[in-house]
Amino acid sequence: MRFYTHQHKFYCGIDLHARTMYLCILDQEGKVLQHRDIKTDPAILLKTIAPYREDIVVAVECIFTWYWLADLCSQENIHFVLGHALYMKAIHGGKAKNDKIDAYKIAALLRGGMMPMAYVYPPEMRSTRDLLRRRTHLARRRAELITHIQNTNHQYNFADLGRVSRKCDRIKAKVADRFTDTSVQKSIELDISLIEHYDKLLNHLEHELSLIAKVHDADSYFRLRSIPGVGRVLGLTILYEIHDIHRFPSVQDFVSYCRLVKSAKESAGKIIGSSGKKIGNAHLKWAFSEAAVLFLRRNPEAMKYRAKLERKHGKAKSLTILAHKLARAVYNILKRKEVFQPETFFAK
Q: For residue range 2-49, list pLDDT tens digits in order.
A: 999 999 999 999 999 999 999 999 999 999 999 999 999 999 999 999
Q: What value does the mean pLDDT of the chain take?
A: 93
pLDDT tier for residue 348 given thresholds of 50, 70 and 90 = low
Q: For residue range 149-185, list pLDDT tens digits in order.
A: 999 999 999 888 888 888 888 888 888 888 989 999 9
Q: For residue range 206-260, list pLDDT tens digits in order.
A: 999 999 999 999 999 999 999 999 999 999 999 999 999 999 999 999 999 999 9
Taking the C-alpha atoms of residue 84 and residue 81, their distance in angstroms, rounded to an integer, is: 10
pTM of the model: 0.90
